[in-house]
Amino acid sequence: MNTLTIGTPAIGGTRYKEVKHAMLAALAAHEWKGGETIPSEKRLAERFGVSIGTLRKAIDELVADNILVRHQGLGTFVAQHQRDRHFFRFFRVVRADGDKTYPTVSLVSFRKAKATRELAPLLNIETGARVFTFMNQLALHGQKVMTENITVPESRFPGLTEAALRDRPSTLYNFYQDVFHINVVGTDERVRVALADQVESALLGVTPGAPILEIRRIAYSYHQLPVEVRISHVNTEHYEYVGASASHDEPL
């Protein structure tokens, strides 16, 4: 159990930040899992040695960060990956007319590898640490639109197999949550133009050297812990990327 020891009052009324940090540590330790209710405000205030008002301010920030969610009359719960509301928070490729749909995902390849010098710091692991790397092809509205090259650390996804990925019944982030208790709560994405190589041209149905959109993503769990690096390529002939500020994302 994580406890919080507080001596003199924090300067600038930031004591609630310490409470928030302690609650994130409890979440990272899987003390409270996705979909579960957290203890009552009274119990948490006693545990951390703070007032109800200070505790509520910490919870307010966690709710604003989509890490916790309040249900009137039921309590405060750990946010979990829900198919409709959560998926489109992170999937931002839509048809040019704005229509959103769930992709049909095909697993192209899966292998074990070692983290390269470039990849290791992105995942906060040592160079040479074991990782899993897999590639997906995504179709939207029956058209091949997107590929994803995904790398995750073996240390955070022990026992991951090709069969488990191929047969998963839910979205990938649901799979992370349900099987490995890893909640993706945020991402950092960078977008640029790339040229299709032989593999991309075959999977996207474009000519080699054709311009395609490249999306580089790092996915984070609690405490900004990086859990996934993903490089996606998109055929933008009929589809486009909609940034977070304009995608009308719903909260978790």
pTM as predicted: 0.77
Q: What is the pLDDT of residue 228?
A: 98
Round to whole Å and give the CA distance between 142 and 125.
38
Q: Is 148 helix (H, G, I), strand (E, B) or coil?
A: strand
Q: 75: closest CA among 123, 39, 26, 27?
A: 39
The token pair that represents 142 in the structure block: 């029956």
The terminus-to-terminus CA distance of the chain in angstroms comes to 26
Between residues 10 and 100, which one has the greater pLDDT?
100
> In terms of DSSP bridges, do strands 239-241 and 93-95 run parallel, antiparallel, or are they unpaired?
antiparallel
The region of weakest confidence among 64-78, 98-112, 146-160, 182-196 is: 64-78
CATH 3.30.950.10 correct for 11-78: no
| DSSP-H helix ranges across 102-161 | 120-123
CA 235 to chain centre: 23
Partners of 68 in beta bridges? 78
- What CATH number was assigned to the domain covering residues 83-246? 3.40.1410.10
Which pLDDT belongs to residue 217? 97
Please give the average per-residue pLDDT across 29-34, as a whole number. Answer: 82
Q: What was the pLDDT predicted at 58? A: 92
The pLDDT of residue 33 is 81
Model pLDDT for residues 113-167, shown as the tens digit of each residue: 999 999 999 999 999 999 999 999 999 999 999 999 999 999 999 999 999 999 9
**pLDDT exceeds 60 at position 15:** yes
Delimit the domains of the chain by residue range. 11-78, 83-246
